[in-house]
């Protein structure tokens, strides 16, 4: 049965949520599910903004057919070609053979890559600033390449001051009746998923997100309609500020996130001793993660959130303990920068992890290595306690400076 909601007098939400999928993009755990958002504009002409993932196709078709009430679909705007948004494009053209596909030039070429579909007769190829009149509404298109694919654009409804923002401002999490961010406890219940979504999926492209934010700042935006997660119609500034921080790799909180890679717990003991001393020195909200038991997408998100990062890892076959090496390479791949870092290594015969972690960190932009690497030989002894204390005191002073 169709399940749609009006978001303005003549725009309705026709998307749907998937609570069954365990890994988004086959890599990110989504215990709270995910929504695939799609919007139908019922103006003199009808406009569908993006389709959805095939997993929710049945509901989507019921929603769109019900929303159209027998009217033809005149336009389908493709802001983003990722299959979780355009999987049903071919079927859309089959159901409404007269529909016009609106997208960037890169979108048009990508359509023929994903589908055996010649859309040449159905295409309105748009570039930066082009407009589409549909009656009461005027839409303009802003290119947003690499947010997070090359073909991406966002669509601004000049009439209603709505930014259909593609994957920008999206988040993991199914929508459970409440479509709007002001209808939920966003900071309590959604912010961690929004940060994990942004940092892992878009985080590498901070520069490109910055240019989109600058373009968006030229427009008066009353509503943000992303392709995943809640719609924003109030306190947009709060979320835009998060995007400003995340896309400039600015930490949200001055505190320590300690990432520990330990086989038998001795390196973890050093990490706990450091955390203990940090707390005694007044540092609050310290985060400490076992990298073997925490999904790396959360670790990436936490490294974006916190100002000071500690990497504590065993040496493992002359390298960095594998889950820790994966994390460091993932942080580097996501362009993380502007952090203060401290290192703890362990090795029972030839400790290497400190040097190797330091090489990865030093190859990242604007990363400050604080103090000496604390080196543990199998288990922590009194001598290391003193060195750990000194490191904790230097970190605490830096955090609270």
Ligand X SMILES: Cc1cc2nc3c(=O)[nH]c(=O)nc-3n(C[C@H](O)[C@H](O)[C@H](O)COP(=O)(O)O)c2cc1C
Interaction site with ligand X (CB under 6 A): 262-267, 314-318, 346-351, 378
Q: Closest separation between CB of residue 312 and ligand X, Å? A: 8
By beta-carbon proximity to ligand X, the closer residue of 170 and 323 is 323
Is residue 292 packed enough to be buried (19+ CB in 10 Å), middle (13-18) or exposed (0-12)? middle
Q: Closest separation between CB of residue 270 and ligand X, Å? A: 8
By beta-carbon proximity to ligand X, the closer residue of 251 and 261 is 261
Query: CA 283 to CA 201: how far, in whole Å?
Result: 30
Cβ 80 vs Cβ 50: under 8 Å: yes
Q: Closest separation between CB of residue 292 and ligand X, Å? A: 10
Cβ 310 vs Cβ 256: under 8 Å: yes
Query: CA 257 to CA 189: how far, in whole Å?
Result: 21
Sequence-distant (6+) residues with CB within 8 A of 161 are: 219, 220, 221, 222, 223
By beta-carbon proximity to ligand X, the closer residue of 324 and 396 is 324
By beta-carbon proximity to ligand X, the closer residue of 13 and 316 is 316
By beta-carbon proximity to ligand X, the closer residue of 121 and 350 is 350
Q: Closest separation between CB of residue 353 and ligand X, Å? A: 7
- The DSSP symbol for 332 reads H
Q: Helix, strand, coil: what percent of the chain each, to 5?
A: 40, 25, 40
The secondary structure element, H or E, covering residue 393 is: helix 382-399
Q: Closest separation between CB of residue 301 and ligand X, Å? A: 24
Give residue number: closest CB to ligand X.
347
CA distances from 344 to 152, 312, 315 (A): 42, 4, 11
- A 10 A CB-CB count for 298 gives 18
By beta-carbon proximity to ligand X, the closer residue of 103 and 354 is 354
Q: Closest separation between CB of residue 344 and ligand X, Å? A: 10
Q: Closest separation between CB of residue 117 and ligand X, Å? A: 52
By beta-carbon proximity to ligand X, the closer residue of 113 and 317 is 317
Query: Residue-wise over 377-392: b if at least 16 C-beta within 10 A, else e?
Result: eeebeeebeebbbebb
Nearest alpha carbon to residue 151 among 162, 140, 173, 166: 166
């Amino acid at each position: 049965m169709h399940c749609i909601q009006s978001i303005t007098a003549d725009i309705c939400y026709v998307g749907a949520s998937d609570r069954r999928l365990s890994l988004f993009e086959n890599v990110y755990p989504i215990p709270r599910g995910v929504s695939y958002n799609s919007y139908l504009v019922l103006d003199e002409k009808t406009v569908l903004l993006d389709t959805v993932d095939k997993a929710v196709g049945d509901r989507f078709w019921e929603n769109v057919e019900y929303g159209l009430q027998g009217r033809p679909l005149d336009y389908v705007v493709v802001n983003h070609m990722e299959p979780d948004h355009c999987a049903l494009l071919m079927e859309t053209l089959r159901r409404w053979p007269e529909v016009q596909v609106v997208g960037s030039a890169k979108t048009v070429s990508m359509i023929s890559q994903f589908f055996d579909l010649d859309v040449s007769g159905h295409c309105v190829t748009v570039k930066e600033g082009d407009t589409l009149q549909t009656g009461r509404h005027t839409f303009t298109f802003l290119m947003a390449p690499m947010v997070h694919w090359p073909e991406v654009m966002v669509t601004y409804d000049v009439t209603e001051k709505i930014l259909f923002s593609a994957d920008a401002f999206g988040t993991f999490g199914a929508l459970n009746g409440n479509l709007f961010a002001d209808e939920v406890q966003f900071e309590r219940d959604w912010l961690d998923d929004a940060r994990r979504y942004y940092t892992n999926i878009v985080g590498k492209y901070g520069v490109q997100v910055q240019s989109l934010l600058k373009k968006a700042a030229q427009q008066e935006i009353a509503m943000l309609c992303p392709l995943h997660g809640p719609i924003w119609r109030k306190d947009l500034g709060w979320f835009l500020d998060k995007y400003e921080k995340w896309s400039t790799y600015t930490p949200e909180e001055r505190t320590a996130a300690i990432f520990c890679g330990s086989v038998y717990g001795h390196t973890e003991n050093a990490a706990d001793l450091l955390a203990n001393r940090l707390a005694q020195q007044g540092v609050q909200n310290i985060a400490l993660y076992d990298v073997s038991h925490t999904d790396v997408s959360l670790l990436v998100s936490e490294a974006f959130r916190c100002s000071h990062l500690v990497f504590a890892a065993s040496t493992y076959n002359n390298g960095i303990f594998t889950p820790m090496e994966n994390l460091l390479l993932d942080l580097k791949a996501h362009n993380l920068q502007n952090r203060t870092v401290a290192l703890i290594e362990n090795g029972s015969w030839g400790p290497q992890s400190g040097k190797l972690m330091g090489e990865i960190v030093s190859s990242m932009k604007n990363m400050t290595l604080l103090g000496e690497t604390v080196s543990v030989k199998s288990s922590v002894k009194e001598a290391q306690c003193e060195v750990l204390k000194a490191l904790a005191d230097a970190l605490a002073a830096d955090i609270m400076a």
